[in-house]
Structure 1
Amino acid sequence: MELCALLLMLLLLSLALSGYTQQDLPRASVTADPDRVVFTGETISLKCAIESSYSDWRFHWSKYSSAFTAGEKYISAETLTIEGVSESDQDKYWCWGERESRPMKSQKSEAVLVRVEDRAQAVLKISQSWLTEGDSVTLGCAVRSSSRGWTFSWFRDDHELLSDSSRGAEGSYTLSPAAVKHTGVYSCRAERGAYFTEYSYTQLLWVTSRRPRASPIISPSRSQHFLSDSLSLSCEDQRSSGWRLRRYGMTLEDCSSSDWGSETGSTCRISSLKTSDTGVYWCQSESGEKSQPVNITVHDVDVILGSSVYPLNEGDPLILHCLQQHTNSSNLRAAFYKDRSLIRTQTTDDQMTIPTVSKSHEGFYYCKLPERSASPKSWIAVTESQTEYQISVFKRISSVFAALPYLLLSIILGVKWHRANGRPDEVHTEYVT
């Protein structure tokens, strides 16, 4: 009897010395790599960690909706790796540890939700779509619903990888300075490990030249067109042969390989315009050289604005027409607007002329006829003329050279003053005997 009591006391003492309350037990935690949002086919790793001085932990994993199959090798490992993720793997996961050398368990971790989506989608963002050569533009790329662990690539036109772009984790790529050759249709794609997203939706980047270059010849030569009108676009005046007409509306298309126009030589003719023919058109050589792009819009309206399809240079005249479909009348008292402000009301005809334009004339223009709705708006671009630009640069350089003699004189006088006044003790000692 006394022996039993002694054994019981020893057992209680052992439990008191080695036992832990629930609060004393270390807590497990879970981290996910790449993150908690993964896509079908990806691999995700969940790591269990226990802050403890002990190293003999055996790990256990559980999930909310169903139990792991007995004997699965990863349910007792520190890292739970799920390869080829499917929608059935979307669940809440948690872990805990159990020491192998003695009966001691950790507290369970907080549950981590792993969300599985069908397919990752890259999204392209362009800081500005219309710019002038010499400007800078940033192409951004991101993955919808996810942000961690991706690297990115950028493509132009027919999924041609930009040769001067490098993959990076920042999700941005800068073209600086932009040139006319950078005009095109851009997309991006992201990768994480061995997994690639779909290509992003395409976006147009339009770069105009400071010095006018060859552009497609448009007939009739205006930006806006009526529905069902005919249109002719030609690349005949380019400097070399082998030019083809390309356009970007909803997708990138060639006249030669589409059903929207008929091609004869380097001329493309559209017999009956549709609103889907709205887009940016340019000529492109076999070597990839590109002409100045032009913007063509097709409208199902009864009034349009007739304006130059080409950018204007400073000093050029701006001629605007207010055109009504199915009429030849020229006594229409048209009113012309710029950026919602009335510029002028013509009392005798449908034409307005600004003899000499400057950069301040750049903006959105439209017109209105009596008892008719206003025309759609057109952007009139005005580029700084090369002559004015050279004069501006010359003036700046001249002003620098003009200031140089005064700058040199100031330096010389400053040095002389410093020599005469900078060391008075030495000057006085020179005359003391």
Structure 2
Amino acid sequence: MDMSMRHTLLGLFLLASLFSGNAQVKYLFETPTAILRPTRYQLPIGGSVTLSCSVEGSGNWTILWYSAASFGSKEEPMTEYEGKKAIIVSQRGLYSCRGRSDSGRHTYNSDKAIIKDTLPITAILTIQPNWTRIYMSEAFTVRCEIPGGEGTYWSYDWRPERFTTYYTTNERTFYNVGWEDNGNYQCRGNMGLSLTEWSNVIPVTISFKLQPVLTVSPSWLSPGASVTLSCEIEYPSEGWSFYWYKAIPDLDIKEEAYKYELLPDGSETAQTLYIITGQTHTAAYVCRAQRGRNYYYTYYSKPKFVWSADLYSAASLTVGPVEQRLSFDFVRLTCKGNSTWWRVRKFPENSVPYCSNVWNLGESVCTLYTKASYSDDGVYWCESMSKQFSNAVNITLQGM
């Protein structure tokens, strides 16, 4: 058989094999790629990792291994491992492999395995401000320190995992925090193919915005007595400053709301107590707290009242005699004073009469039924739009 006939038969064989899907023919024309696993690994101190290399498809391939000491350095053959499909390495570095056939044909190189080792150094994580609890919209900063690492170029990895982006600074500040910032925070140093151990864990808990609780003592004024306001807050030693206000009735705000006027020397005090001297009339007070460099403020406390029975105040609440209408006994409360608008207030508010908290033009009259199915017992007083508070009256209706 002459040479031309041989070429013709070989061409027909290859064409038939190609259409029949013969995989062996495919590898006559395509260069396979070596596959290396794992491609990333962190060596613990004194540890090792097994790297395996394979070539897809059929054929007899001899595995060749290569390594580089660092990024950008020259890749060197590892001749001592030639022919091994798996090797054990215990040093950091960049590793790759490829296959060589009996005829000297080579596969493409595999992806590089990046093997990092762990240094015998543990990073130290701190948080500022160092508060037990952080509230919605506050800010905090975490800082990663590496003992003995001064003057060395480090990047930093962070936990939780959603924060593991590449950072070359050792501080991260979180502003206007929300629920997504909850978590256990850690850091480590990352330098080339070396890592420090993960740092200590700092748990961060984000809580709802805080509302302080105000108490007043005494609740009922005695002639010449001082009034002590106490603003109670969670973790009072954690950097809080306090603000103190007088609550003023406001017709423009619906129902029970007040506007607040800062008391003298009531701005940013470090003390949780505020003492008022010379108070003779019924009054309402609130407090709130602030801390941090971004000036986080709590909610205002609920108003607390100091009541006076002084009948000679600028406004007066009078209690009429008990009257009878059909089968009901009732008593009228009447607000008077030098103001256009009035409303009756009651404490406690668990059973507020229908007329309470409603602004009235001129006199404000409230009718209480002495034998109602609900109890209207409590302390009553009046408030005016001209910032006046009347005397207070403690009323027990049952059996009047």
TM-score (ref. length: structure 1): 0.50
Q: Does 1:118 align with 2:223?
A: no
Offset at 1:139? 1.6
* Aligned residue number for residue 158 of structure 2: 62
**Superposed CA offset, 1:296-338 (max 9, x none):** 2444xxxx4xxxxxxxxxxxxxxxxxx6xxxxxxxxxxxxxxx
Against the structure 1 CA distance between its residues 261 and 138, is the aligned structure 2 distance closer, same or farther, given a 3 Å change threshold? Answer: closer
Change (3 A) 1:128 1:153: same
Please name the residue that 1:186 is paired with.
285
Structure 1 window deviating more from structure 2 (151-160 vs 88-97): it is 151-160
Q: Please, which of 272, 282, 293 is the counterpart of residue 381 of structure 2?
A: 282
Aligned counterparts of 1:290 and 1:199: Cα–Cα separation in 2: 21
Distance 1:248 1:47, change over 3 A: farther
**Matches of 2:346 and 2:157, distance apart in 1:** 53
Aligned pair 1:205/2:306, yes or no? yes
Q: CA deviation at 1:81?
A: 0.9
User: Matches of residues 414-433 of structure 1 in structure 2 within 5 Å?
Assistant: none
- Give the whole-Å Cα distance in 1 for the aligned partners of 2:289 and 2:149: 41
- Greater share of strand: 2
Pick aligned residue for 2:177 from 81, 85, 92: 85
The aligned residue for residue 246 of structure 1 is 344
Q: Compared with structure 1, are the counterparts of its residues 85 and 195 closer, same or farther at alpha carbon in structure 2 (3 Å cutoff)?
A: same
Q: Does the CA-based 8 Å contact 2:226-2:279 persist in structure 1?
A: no
Separation (CA, whole Å) in 2 of partners of 1:291 and 1:259: 14
- Give the alignment partner of residue 266 of structure 1, picking from 358, 363, 371: 363
Judging changes above 3 Å, is the alpha-carbon distance between structure 1 residues 267 and 31 closer, same or farther for their aligned structure 2 residues?
Answer: closer
Give 1:170's aligned residue. 270
**Could you report, residue by residue, the CA deviation over 1:169-205 in whole angstroms, capped at 9, with x for unpaired residues?**
5352423314124x22332222333433222233222
Taking every aligned residue pair, what percent have the same amino acid on both sides? 25
Give, in angstroms, the shift of residue 92 of structure 1: 0.7
Shift of 1:242: 4.2
* Within-5 A mapping of 1:6-405: 22=120, 25=121, 28-33=124-129, 35-50=131-146, 52=148, 54-56=150-152, 58=154, 60-64=156-160, 66-71=161-166, 75-97=167-189, 108-144=198-234, 147-155=237-245, 156-157=247-248, 158-181=258-281, 183-192=282-291, 193-209=294-310, 215-220=316-321, 229-236=329-336, 238=337, 240=338, 242=340, 244-250=342-348, 258=355, 265-270=362-367, 272=369, 275=374, 277-284=376-383, 286-299=385-398, 304=399
Contact 1:245 1:283 in 2 (8 A): yes
Alignment partners' CA distance in 2, 1:133 and 1:55: 70
Instruction: Indicate if the aligned counterparts of 2:283 and 2:306 stay in contact, CA closer than 8 A.
Output: yes
Given that 1:121 and 1:144 are in contact with CA atoms closer than 8 Å, whether structure 2 keeps it comes out as no
Unaligned runs of 5+ in 2: 1-117, 249-257
Q: Contact 2:345 / 2:356 at 8 angstroms: preserved in 1?
A: no
> CA 1:76–1:246 in structure 2 vs 1: closer, same or farther (change >3 Å)?
farther
d(CA) in 2 for partners of 1:134, 1:265? 32
Alpha-carbon shift at residue 285 of structure 1 (Å) = 5.3
- The one-letter code of the counterpart of 1:247 is R
Deviation at 1:90, TM superposition (A): 0.8
C-alpha change, 1:260 and 1:162, in structure 2 (3 Å) is closer
